[in-house]
Amino acid sequence: MSEPVLVLDGVWKGFDRGGRPFSMLEDVSLRVLAREVVSIIGTRDQGKSTLVRIAAGFERPDRGSVHVGGFALAGLKDSEHSGVLRSLIGLAARSGPGGTQPKMGEYVLLRLTSGQGFSKRKRRVMVAAALERLDVADCAESRWEDLSTLQRMRVELAQAIVTRPKLLLVDDIIDGLGLGKSKDAMELVRELAHELGCGVLMVASDDVAVIPSDVVWKLAEKKLKLMADNRTHNITPIDVSITNRRAS
């Protein structure tokens, strides 16, 4: 078995709300292997995006550890941190570029820097290849507000994979696509995992669309519950009800 690209071990995270401590995640542990798609489903405000941000290194857990590609994120110096994030981790979220709203080709280009050893010409080639792979090459001169929901999802994936990361994090970008397009998006994510040899951790509210994942977890009441492990064909009664609803 290959080494995991992501390991969360005993992660706890809380926040302060109105002067009172609030626990968001409690004792969360999981692993993501190369070429594996692990999905987490849950309703809003359950901590899914917080978990993604912890896996990306944007937030530190109060307790527990996070390892990406063998690196302990908590142990990295600030100068090392950004390099690891850019080279090892790709994040596709719903928020888009924000700020000055660059054109989409420029948005994807922002993921690449000269410090990564790529020439200016090489960076342009990589951006064009990523947009082409995600079938949004014609969006390179467009801005975020001009794109459809489906095009935004594909551009987000393009900027996330342009560095060919070991870990691809996907934060709720399939929500709102509708069942058919959500299933197509899941298949696309699976293809990218195998093409790039990366592990994928994605979170979503749509429990039906993520069923083809290798592993499905449910995040509720601050903890993870295993719903299905399709690598060993273990399906719980809860998963059977989801599958039946999908077929109905």
For residues 81 and 25, is the Cβ–Cβ distance under 8 A?
no
Structural domain harbouring 79: 4-99+165-247
**pLDDT per residue over 128-181, tens digit each?**
999 999 999 999 999 999 999 999 999 999 999 999 999 999 998 887 777 788
State whether residue 110 is helix, strand or coil.
coil
In a domain, 113, yes or no: no
Q: What is the mean pLDDT of residues 230-234?
A: 66
**pLDDT per residue over 14-57, tens digit each?**
887 777 888 889 999 999 999 999 999 988 888 899 999 999 98
State whether residue 102 is helix, strand or coil.
coil
**pLDDT per residue over 110-127, tens digit each?**
888 755 677 889 999 999
In a domain, 9, yes or no: yes
Question: pLDDT exceeding 70 applies to what percent of the chain?
Answer: 85
Torsion of CA 85, 86, 88, 89, to 10 degrees: 70
pTM of the predicted structure, to 2 decimals: 0.87
Q: Is the pLDDT of residue 77 over 80?
A: no
Question: pLDDT exceeding 90 applies to what percent of the chain?
Answer: 51
In a domain, 104, yes or no: no
What confidence category does residue 241 fall into, taking pLDDT thresholds of 50, 70 and 90?
A: very low
In a domain, 89, yes or no: yes
pLDDT at 225: 93
In a domain, 131, yes or no: no
In a domain, 42, yes or no: yes
Total number of domains constituting the chain: 1
What confidence category does residue 107 fall into, taking pLDDT thresholds of 50, 70 and 90?
A: very high
DSSP letter string over 114-156?
GGGT--HHHHHHHHHHHHHHTT-GGGTT-BGGGS-HHHHHHHH
224: nearest Cα among 42, 21, 6, 36: 42
pLDDT at 99: 66
What confidence category does residue 208 fall into, taking pLDDT thresholds of 50, 70 and 90?
A: low
DSSP letter string over 24-70?
EEEEEEEEEETT-EEEEE--TTSSHHHHHHHHHTSS--SEEEEEETT
pLDDT at 239: 41
Q: Is the pLDDT of residue 244 over 60?
A: no
What value does the mean pLDDT of the chain take? 84
In a domain, 160, yes or no: no
In a domain, 152, yes or no: no
Q: Is the pLDDT of residue 234 over 60?
A: no
Cα–Cα distance measured from residue 93 to residue 114, given in angstroms and rounded to the nearest whole number: 24
Cα–Cα distance measured from residue 105 to residue 190, given in angstroms and rounded to the nearest whole number: 24
The CATH number that applies at residue 218 is: 3.40.50.300
